[in-house]
Structure 1
Amino acid sequence: MKRLLACVTCLVLALPVLAEEANAPLFSADGYRVARYRSPTPAAAEPARTLDTPSLQALLQKQPDTLLVDVYRRQWLHDRFIEDEPHANLPGSLWLANTGDGTLAPEWQAYFSRHLQQASQGRLDRPVVFYCRSDCWLSWNAVKRAAALGYTNLYWYRDGIDAWEQAGLPLQPARPLPFP
């Protein structure tokens, strides 16, 4: 009985927080998704072209210089990434962890833009594919962020790592690119 009362008490105490989260805005004033990143995503991320697994494979065959950018989150604590669980991504990908959040601190924005600029060799027309997991808004935000930086040949692999893995395609162990 005491355990039941403790659970009920925890639930009652959590209700205001849950209600506040439910009423929090999903998008910032400038159009980035800022809450509930793991939820159903739209069919497109303007101005990118949305890819499924076969179309991504075809793009990589046709344009082997395509950049693959994983924006999956990694905990950042005490000025370093915390490897709390293994992460794998598509072979040849850059992992720009934490750059798909709706609001980025200036140092994370600099991390994103600097690594994209280096990887693309300053070519704003180089094909760039952003991805994360399925039903994940982080890559949707990253597409918008890259477009704001002037990149013009953008793709969104909407179903990301999950679809790649379900297709039986290989993944590689990954580490985020160094920060800062």
Structure 2
Amino acid sequence: MNPTDAAGPLFEALLAEAQQWACDDTEDQEQLDAIDHADTPRDKLALLQNSSLVPSHLASAIAEALVALDPATYSPDSAPTTSGTSMADPELHRIRDASITVVDASPEDNTPSDVYEIQVHGVSVLIRRRAQWGPASDVPYVHIEDQNEGPSLLLVEVNNGGEHEHPRPSADGAAT
């Protein structure tokens, strides 16, 4: 297989991950629409990388792989030509076994707060505020993802309401 042939499916995997992380709110849907309507694959990748739809480490790793596999299509030489999210470069902080990535707020892109992603023990937690959620505005949003492979169990407690089990389905789709 030609390396450039692998780039398309790799980008599609990143886009599928973004669609999975996205919610039905206007903010995420606008980001997905901007990505969908971007003129070139490089523009689409840049918008995806600068969005809050996927963990920054995942977007960065895939972007580097895409540029290595197909520099003619995904080279960062040009900026995106389609308007979309324009968040600043993320800051990365390491504390013991954890990493914290911070992306600046971008009110012009309807992101009213900085976006924080904490990764530790094979778990990624993304925390930000949402400009609008139904009738409420400026509400906290938390996304938790178990990054360990295979069947597993994630225990989550919200506001001292007791632990709730979130099993990861096995390869055949059955919950563990």
Report TM bin, short chain: under 0.3
TM-score (norm: length of structure 1): 0.22
Rg (Cα) greater in structure: 1
Q: Counting strand residues as a fraction of each chain, which structure ranks higher?
A: 2
TM-score (norm: length of structure 2): 0.22
Relative contact order (C-alpha < 8 Å, sep 6+): which is higher?
1
